[in-house]
Amino acid sequence: MKELIKKVYLLQLTYNGITDEIYHFLSDGEKKLLIETNGKFYLKEAERRKIKVVLTGGVFDVLHIGHIITLIEAKKHGDVLVVAIAKDEHIKKKGREPIHPQEYRKIMVETLKPVDISVAGLDNPKKLIELVGPDVIVYGYDQKEFLKPEGIKIVKLSKKIDDSKFKTGRILEELGV
């Protein structure tokens, strides 16, 4: 049953609600999990609570072992791992141009084994929380806990590797980028 709920949740997140067109292709079992709101279908709250959704995020412009370890550890905290990919403007605020645009980074991260779905980061993190509806937010070992919504468990990962060799800035420096 959990796998069915996960499948429907991922559809809901992908399309920001399940449209009529998609709804008609769902099985009767999947349809029973849903409720219609404002012309789209969403998991009933009781069904949604049967899975634990984990949200983490980052830039992921130059994938390295620190990212992989963070995603593996984050996945351990729930049934579904949603990864928010920072906007290109966020990277520019850090003083550099992105190597890969957000859409490419989103695709790269989504293909990683621990990740169930990646979503484009938003200007307003509260809107992202509303969209994803996480039960847990996981911050990587080098991230600040900038968002702590009430009722959502916050996990701060501890350092697992010597990050001096694997930080994105260091990799770019060594590559001469």
CATH number of the domain bearing residue 141: 3.40.50.620
> What's the pTM value of the predicted model, to 2 decimals?
0.89
Same domain flag for 61 and 115: yes
> Quick one: 133 and 160 in the same domain?
yes
Q: Are residues 9 and 42 in the same domain?
A: yes
Residue pair 78/54 in contact (Cβ under 8 Å)? The answer is yes
pLDDT of residue 161: 66
43 shares a domain with 60: no
Domain-terminating residue out of 26, 48, 70: 48
Q: Is residue 146 domain-shared with residue 77, that is, in the same domain?
A: yes
Q: Which two tokens stand for residue 104?
A: 């490419």
Concatenated DSSP letters of 17-64: SB-HHHHTTS-HHHHTTEEEETTEEEE-HHHHTTS-EEEEEE--SS--
Q: Say whether both 105 and 59 belong to one domain.
A: yes
| Residues 91, 126 within the same domain | yes
Q: By the 8 A CB rule, do 118 and 82 touch?
A: yes
Domain-ending residue, one of 48, 67, 86: 48
Q: For residue 155, what are the CA distances in angstroms to 24, 74, 85, 151?
A: 38, 9, 18, 13
Query: In which domain, by residue range, is 33 found?
Result: 2-48
Q: Are residues 68 and 152 in the same domain?
A: yes
Choose one of 30, 48, 66: the last residue of a domain.
48
Per-residue pLDDT of the chain (177 residues; tens, 9 = 90+): 999 999 999 999 999 999 999 999 999 999 999 999 999 999 999 999 999 999 999 999 988 888 899 999 999 999 999 999 999 998 898 888 998 999 999 999 999 999 999 999 988 889 999 999 999 999 998 888 888 889 999 999 986 666 666 665 665 666 666
Same-domain check for residues 154 and 91: yes
pLDDT at 169: 61
On whether both 57 and 39 belong to a single domain, the answer is no
40 and 99 assigned to the same domain: no
Tally of domains within the chain: 2
Give yes or no: residues 60 and 121 share one domain: yes
Report how far residue 177's alpha carbon sits from residue 169's, in angstroms, rounded to the nearest whole number: 9
